[in-house]
Amino acid sequence: MNIKTIIFDMDGLMFDTETLWQRVCQETIHTLGYEFDSDFNTIGLNQDDMKKHFIQKYGSKFPIDLFKKSYYENMNNIIIKEGLKIKPGLMELLEYLVANNYTLAIASSTDFNRIKWYLECAKIDEKIFKVIISGEYFDKGKPNPDIFLKTCELLKVHPSDAIVLEDSKRGIEAAYKAGCIPILIPNIDIIDSHTRNMAKYEFKTLNEVINFLNE
């Protein structure tokens, strides 16, 4: 495949933060006196959409600002104490892509400063990414395609010439709607047949992307 642009999602794709989210979210919600529902899914949502999701789930009296403050404090403390877990194959894939002159970008629903902090924690040079873009700058998050369309615009590449690596249903749908080439590397999000039909390819780990690009 003669494609030289790779757009990365981040949470659950580059770093094992979705599993950590479940752990911290459950603890924080319980502390506030609410019951955590294991089926409650905010994977791929930007901050505004996540807030709406919480209010819809727990009602208008849910202390969303207090939740966010406690949640991020707890999340940060765990990462500082235990380290940021990197998904298998990420470092090898980045090394391969840089060595072979691919154009790289990150398009994540997470806020911009957190993206940069995660890269710092993982000791990944942010300069290898030509574009880093956050969902906080968009009114509509994934599965809306705007974040990928804007990333392609900034990269000056047609969406059909960009591979998007995603782990979530919302992310795959957004990449598909944008006209990019969605590649699914599942994590903890439950992937249905509809999502798999939108994904152009599916691999178990990021290591398999190297083999695919070599072919």
pLDDT tens per residue, range 130-173? 999 998 888 888 899 999 999 999 999 999 999 999 998 999 99
Residues 32 and 109 in one domain: no
Give the least confident one: 5-14, 57-66, 74-83. Answer: 57-66
pLDDT in tens, 26-59: 888 888 888 877 666 666 666 777 777 788 878 8
Domain that holds residue 45: 17-82
User: 35 CB contacts (<8 Å, ≥6 apart)?
Assistant: 29
Q: Are 9 and 165 in contact (CB under 8 A)?
A: yes
pTM of the model: 0.87
Residues 70 and 156 in one domain: no
Residues 73 and 96 in one domain: no
Residues 142 and 205 in one domain: yes
The band of 1, judged by pLDDT with boundaries at 50, 70 and 90, is low
Residues 50 and 144 in one domain: no
* Number of domains within the chain: 2
Which of 195, 197, 180, 138 is CA-nearest to residue 8?
A: 180
pLDDT in tens, 175-192: 999 999 999 999 877 788
Per the prediction, the chain carries an average pLDDT of 90
Q: pLDDT value at position 39?
A: 66
Q: Which of 52, 67, 82 is the last residue of a domain?
A: 82
Q: Are 180 and 174 in contact (CB under 8 A)?
A: no
